[in-house]
């Protein structure tokens, strides 16, 4: 109570009246949009060519919402006369966003930088089954992944922000 | 007067009924939109509905009304069916009846009763019967508690409401609302009759009392214990759906509209505006009354959106220990001054 | 509760069973016998706006007066203690975010420091500072919501919206640092996931000004309101000894005059020993004093954040830890001062990648255990006031 002389009832009326005169803070969603922070965990994007089907993400996921299938393929050797290379090819990479907890463990454990966070958030669906994003749809999210942002003063030098 | 003579009484009655029937939902809509949707939103630093109808969501309440009409009419299995169905009608009826005596111009009044203010206050307390019926017949414990609270509240608040108007009645010397307006229009403040004599100047205590009591009568915050959505989950209305709920909604805001109109008539000079008389007053009257009414309603809703809710026992002690004594003292002083001057 | 200065009352002594309200009741006994009507049993909840979720209160009413009230819990039991036995440590960190969802970051800290204690490592100083800042930010976010919502529960609509409006600034801060508004999952065993983004410290500094302004608003709009005082003063008084006996903790206990705050009195954790802050108490122990204490603690938290922002050192935010974390066998108990009160984890490890057993001591569960005693003899509207004043999160009760 800054001014003990004025009764609290009147001070309260003053506060609501002043707020009425100020512009509202509402963001009118479909017409105008807030820009989420670059780090915001909106949706997971997949860079398919980096994935080696190591299954680390699927195993580390706390609620097992990542489904991966793959097979081995023989590729011609890099150098003349070398051995044939054996490469893992991704057949299926699905993330079920109706189960996902957005914890980010999969992005973090990925050793080959195949998964990224994108702050995109507008992918709600009318049917729950459509929240299962396949590898093509996950790949499309790659376009929305923001560049790595600089870190605050005092951060360990030479280390860029992790994805 | 000329107009009324040319058409027969049957037509007049039909016109009068039509006017009252349109004014209430329209008033409820205007109050609901201006204050509930827009003023409250801005006081809470938000915008409220913006899309329906294009301009600042003006269509929202109409759309809500249409939606309510389509909804299924659910009646609880244990409900007292007849009483349950009648209750909303009783609530709305009392609102309609108040409007019969409110003057909107020198000749624009549905029924110029000699006991106008007495009638208005008597009829307004009918709504609590409807609330009691709703609460009892819903077969719901929350509704029952709410109905009992509502009845207790009415008994506590009818008296200050009446006492607040007595000061005005003494000063005007009449119970007729039309004559109260004329008394204010033709009055003078210490001999200066530039703006007449709105009774808010001489009866400020009465005006404050009237607003507080009206707030309780309308069960608006800080006296909204019968509705109390955080404890009784909206009380007597809890089992109502569809158009029956719509009736309660119209009743709530229609009554607020009516009480604002009564307060504007009693204390702010009603339809009268300085320097305008005759046919001009008949044309301007409704708009002037509407402007004054909105000012009063703004005060009532401003309080509603700012304050927390009192407890039922605190309301009773406030009514009996504070408001009624103040009302009596106000009458005493008014009476002494009336005789002395 | 062993660290408190006030001796704990072992059992409920007789002087606690009579409250001032029931004395009035005795005086009216004569009348009540003649007008005796049957009691009415009212079910508040599991879906009721006053119960913040799915708490169910079976209230026996005489008119509007509560004769007895039984809280029934468990509608939201999610089995966290069991589920932790089948998850690895990083996975547990993301799960326990959801216990008290309003201050998730503060939930993570005690668990992660328990694991760190078992592994005998310590997060670098910069990480400790960032953890402190984020913990205090989540405390502010929780309390801002309380400050608004308490108004809503006693009938004022507007403060709730102010609470949400001003909390938004804090949530934006948390989001831009951690990536999640509600579930940060930012703590890692041995430090933090990442450093702060560029410009975050300056943003935090300006957000603290918003918090101070918000506190002034609430002080004027709610705390200074005479109707609010009439509704809350003398309602739901928890005597200090009884509060301690029931295990009430945090701001609820401090509002009863017990000067006990784990940030100051417990095992030193994070950087609290280096900060200068006041532990607010109030002698009354009623709902009004709980509001007062939380309001002051919000300001105090904002001051602590400002101190941390000034003192934050440069350096790494993560120590060297193996890629697959295995915690050595052992048992450890870590308790922290969470926004809602004392929150602790008893972690038993058998050397695997996940804990063998975790016992979670959540604040709200103990805080509402006093409800049956507290609700005797009050009116129905006071039930709502008391529930709002105790401020519990259902996830924190049912786990």
- Which chain C residues touch A37 with a CB distance below 8 Å? 172, 175-176, 179, 197
**Alpha carbon distance C84, C107 (integer Å):** 14
Number of domains in chain B: 1
Please tell me which chains touch C, using 3 or more CB pairs under 8 Å as the contact test: A, B
Task: Lowest mean pLDDT of B187-196, C11-20, C301-310, name the range.
Answer: C11-20
- Greater confidence (C27 vs B57) lies with B57
What is the mean predicted confidence (pLDDT) over B63-71? 86
- Which chain A residues touch C176 with a CB distance below 8 Å? 37-40
What is the mean predicted confidence (pLDDT) over C45-66? 81
Is the model's pLDDT at C10 over the cut of 70? no
Whether C386 and C291 have beta carbons less than 8 Å apart is answered as: no
- Measured between CB atoms, does B43 come within 8 Å of chain C? yes
What is the mean predicted confidence (pLDDT) over B211-236? 82
Structural domains in chain A plus CATH codes: 36-144 (3.30.70.3270)
The three-state secondary structure class of C313 is coil
User: What DSSP string runs through B105-128?
Assistant: SSS--S---TTHHHHHHHHHTTHH
Is the model's pLDDT at B75 over the cut of 70? yes
Mark yes or no for CB contact A13/B45 under 8 Å: no
Whether C248 and C373 have beta carbons less than 8 Å apart is answered as: no
- Measured between CB atoms, does A12 come within 8 Å of chain C? yes
- Listed as own residue / partner, the contacts of C321-324 with beta carbons closer than 8 Å and 24 or more positions apart are C321/C119, C321/C121, C321/C188, C321/C189, C321/C190, C324/C353
Is the model's pLDDT at C3 over the cut of 80? no
- Which chain B residues touch A9 with a CB distance below 8 Å? 307
* H or E element that contains C347: strand C341-349
Q: How confident is the model at residue B193 (pLDDT cuts 50, 70, 90)?
A: low
Task: Lowest mean pLDDT of B84-88, B89-93, B314-318, C60-64, name the range.
Answer: C60-64
pTM: 0.84
**Alpha carbon distance A42, A36 (integer Å):** 9
B to C CB pairs, distance under 8 Å: 80
Residues 6+ apart with CB under 8 A from B66: none
Range 237-296 of B in CB contact (< 8 A) with C:
none
Handedness of CA C264, C269, C273, C274 (dihedral sign): negative
Whether C109 and C187 have beta carbons less than 8 Å apart is answered as: yes
Residue C197 Cα, gap to closest chain A Cα (Å): 4
**Alpha carbon distance C391, C389 (integer Å):** 5
Read off the pLDDT of residues C247-290 as tens digits, 9 standing for 90 and up: 888 888 888 888 888 888 878 888 888 888 888 888 888 889 99
- Cα torsion C176, C177, C179, C182 to 10°: value is -90
Tokens 């069916």 correspond to what residue? B81
Mark yes or no for CB contact B309/C221 under 8 Å: no
Task: Lowest mean pLDDT of B20-29, B213-222, C330-339, name the range.
Answer: B20-29
- Cα torsion B194, B196, B201, B204 to 10°: value is -160
Question: Predicted ipTM?
Answer: 0.81
What Rg, from alpha-carbon coordinates, does chain C have?
Answer: 22
pLDDT recorded at residue C196:
86
Read off the pLDDT of residues B237-260 as tens digits, 9 standing for 90 and up: 888 888 888 888 888 888 888 888
* Residues belonging to chain B: 341
Q: How confident is the model at residue C314 (pLDDT cuts 50, 70, 90)?
A: confident
Nearest Cα to C316, choosing from A39, A162, A112, A109?
A162
- Measured between CB atoms, does C127 come within 8 Å of chain A? no
Is the model's pLDDT at C28 over the cut of 60? no
Whether B258 and B99 have beta carbons less than 8 Å apart is answered as: yes
Whether B222 and B215 have beta carbons less than 8 Å apart is answered as: yes
- Measured between CB atoms, does A11 come within 8 Å of chain B? no
| B12 located within any domain | no
| B1 located within any domain | no
Residue C165 Cα, gap to closest chain B Cα (Å): 8
pLDDT recorded at residue B123:
86
- Measured between CB atoms, does A9 come within 8 Å of chain C? yes
Residues 6+ apart with CB under 8 A from B57: B37, B48, B49, B50, B51
Task: Lowest mean pLDDT of A125-139, B104-118, C307-321, name the range.
Answer: B104-118
Domain boundaries defined on chain C: 80-398
Q: Which of C38, C44, C233, C381 to mutate to probe the B interface, most B CBs <10 Å?
A: C381
- Greater confidence (C304 vs B78) lies with C304
Pick the most confident of B25-29, B334-338, C283-287: C283-287
- Greater confidence (A67 vs B182) lies with A67
Whether A153 and C126 have beta carbons less than 8 Å apart is answered as: no
Strands C65-72 and C56-62: antiparallel
Handedness of CA C178, C179, C185, C189 (dihedral sign): negative
Q: How confident is the model at residue B231 (pLDDT cuts 50, 70, 90)?
A: confident
Q: Which residues pair with C43 in a beta bridge?
A: C58
Q: How confident is the model at residue A109 (pLDDT cuts 50, 70, 90)?
A: confident
**Alpha carbon distance A87, A72 (integer Å):** 5
Share of chain C above pLDDT 90, in %: 8
Task: Lowest mean pLDDT of A127-136, B5-14, B196-205, C113-122, name the range.
Answer: B5-14
Q: CATH number of the domain at C80-398, please?
A: 1.10.645.10
Strands C330-338 and C191-192: unpaired
User: What DSSP string runs through B28-45?
Assistant: HHHHIIIIIIIIHHHHTT
Read off the pLDDT of residues A14-56 as tens digits, 9 standing for 90 and up: 888 888 888 888 888 888 888 888 888 888 888 888 888 888 8
Whether B164 and B210 have beta carbons less than 8 Å apart is answered as: yes
pLDDT recorded at residue C140:
92
pLDDT recorded at residue B4:
46
Q: Give the residue numbers spanning the domain of B236.
A: 76-340
């Amino acid at each position: 109570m800054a001014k003990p002389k004025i009764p609290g009832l009147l001070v309260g009326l003053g506060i609501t009246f002043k707020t009425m005169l100020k512009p509202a803070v509402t963001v009118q969603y479909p017409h105008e949009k807030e820009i989420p922070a670059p780090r915001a965990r909106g949706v997971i994007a997949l860079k398919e060519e980096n994935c080696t089907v190591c299954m680390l993400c699927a195993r580390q996921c706390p609620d097992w919402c990542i489904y991966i299938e793959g097979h081995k393929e023989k590729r011609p050797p890099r150098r003349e006369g070398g051995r044939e290379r054996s490469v893992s090819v991704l057949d299926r990479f699905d993330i079920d966003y109706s189960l996902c907890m957005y914890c980010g463990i999969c992005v973090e454990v990925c050793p080959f930088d195949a998964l990224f966070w994108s702050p995109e958030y507008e992918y709600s669906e009318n049917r729950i089954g459509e929240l299962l994003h396949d590898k093509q749809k996950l790949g499309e999210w790659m376009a929305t992944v923001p560049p790595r942002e600089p870190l605050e003063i005092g951060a360990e030098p030479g280390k860029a922000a992790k994805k | 007067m000329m107009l009324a003579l040319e058409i027969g009484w049957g037509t007049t009655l039909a016109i009068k009924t039509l006017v009252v029937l349109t004014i209430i939902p329209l008033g409820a809509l205007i109050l609901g939109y201006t204050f509930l949707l827009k003023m409250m939103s801005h006081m809470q630093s938000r915008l409220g509905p913006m899309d329906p109808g294009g301009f600042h969501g003006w269509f929202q309440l109409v759309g809500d009304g249409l939606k309510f009409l389509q909804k299924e009419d659910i009646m609880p299995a244990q409900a007292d069916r007849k009483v349950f169905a009648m209750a909303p009608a009783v609530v709305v009826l009392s609102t309609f009846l108040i409007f019969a005596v409110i003057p909107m111009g020198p000749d624009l009044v549905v029924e110029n009763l000699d006991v106008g203010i007495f009638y208005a206050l008597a009829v307004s307390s009918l709504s609590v019967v409807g609330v009691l019926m709703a609460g009892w017949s819903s077969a719901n414990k929350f509704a029952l508690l709410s109905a009992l609270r509502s009845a207790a509240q009415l008994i506590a608040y009818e008296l200050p409401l009446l006492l607040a108007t007595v000061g005005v009645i003494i000063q005007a010397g009449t119970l007729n609302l039309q004559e109260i307006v004329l008394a204010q229009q033709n009055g003078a403040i210490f001999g200066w009759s530039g703006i007449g004599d709105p009774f808010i100047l001489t009866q400020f205590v009465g005006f404050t009392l009237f607003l507080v009591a009206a707030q309780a009568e309308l069960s608006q915050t800080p006296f909204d214990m019968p509705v109390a959505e955080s404890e009784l989950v909206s009380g007597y209305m809890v089992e109502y759906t569809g158009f029956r709920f719509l009736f309660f909604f119209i009743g709530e805001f229609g009554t607020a509209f009516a009480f604002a109109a009564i307060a504007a008539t009693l204390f702010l000079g009603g339809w009268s505006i300085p320097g305008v008389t005759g046919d001009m007053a008949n044309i301007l009257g409704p708009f002037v009354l509407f402007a004054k009414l909105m000012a009063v309603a703004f005060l009532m809703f401003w309080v509603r959106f700012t304050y927390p809710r009192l407890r039922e026992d605190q309301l009773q002690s406030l009514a009996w220990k504070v408001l009624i004594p103040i009302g009596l003292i106000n009458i005493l002083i008014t009476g002494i001054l009336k005789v002395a001057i | 509760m062993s660290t408190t200065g006030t001796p704990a009352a072992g059992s409920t002594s007789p002087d606690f069973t009579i409250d001032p309200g029931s004395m009035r009741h005795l005086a009216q006994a004569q009348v009540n016998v003649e007008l005796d009507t049957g009691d009415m049993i009212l079910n508040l909840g599991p879906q009721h706006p006053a119960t913040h979720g799915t708490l169910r209160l079976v209230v026996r009413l005489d008119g509007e007066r509560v004769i007895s009230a039984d809280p029934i819990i468990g509608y939201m039991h999610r089995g966290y203690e069991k589920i932790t036995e089948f998850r690895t440590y990083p996975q547990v960190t993301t799960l326990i975010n959801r216990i008290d969802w309003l201050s998730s970051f503060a939930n993570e800290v005690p668990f992660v420091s328990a694991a760190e204690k078992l592994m005998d490592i310590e997060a670098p100083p910069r990480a400790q500072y960032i953890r402190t800042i984020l913990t205090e930010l989540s405390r502010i976010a929780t309390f801002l919501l309380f400050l608004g919502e308490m108004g809503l529960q006693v009938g004022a609509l507007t403060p709730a919206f102010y609470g949400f409006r001003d909390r938004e600034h804090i949530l934006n801060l948390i989001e831009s640092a951690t990536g999640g508004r509600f579930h940060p999952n930012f703590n890692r065993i041995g430090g933090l996931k990442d450093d702060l983004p560029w410009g975050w410290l300056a943003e935090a500094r300006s957000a603290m000004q918003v918090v101070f302004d918000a506190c002034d608003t609430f002080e004027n709009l709610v705390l200074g309101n005479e109707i609010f005082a009439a509704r809350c003063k003398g309602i739901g008084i928890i005597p200090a000894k009884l509060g301690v006996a029931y295990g009430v903790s945090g701001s609820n206990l401090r509002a009863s005059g017990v000067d006990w705050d784990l940030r100051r009195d417990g095992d030193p954790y994070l950087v609290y020993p280096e900060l200068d802050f006041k532990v607010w108490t109030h002698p009354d122990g009623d709902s009004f004093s709980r509001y007062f204490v939380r309001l002051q603690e919000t300001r105090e938290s904002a001051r602590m954040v400002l101190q941390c922002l000034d003192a934050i050192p440069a350096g790494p935010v993560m120590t060297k830890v193996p890629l697959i974390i295995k915690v050595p066998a052992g048992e450890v108990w870590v308790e922290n001062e969470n926004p809602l009160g004392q929150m602790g984890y008893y972690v038993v490890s058998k050397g695997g990648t996940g804990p063998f057993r975790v016992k979670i001591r959540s604040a709200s569960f103990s805080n509402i255990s006093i409800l049956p005693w507290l609700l005797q003899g009050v009116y129905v509207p006071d039930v709502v006031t008391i529930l709002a004043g105790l401020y519990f999160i259902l996830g924190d009760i049912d786990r």
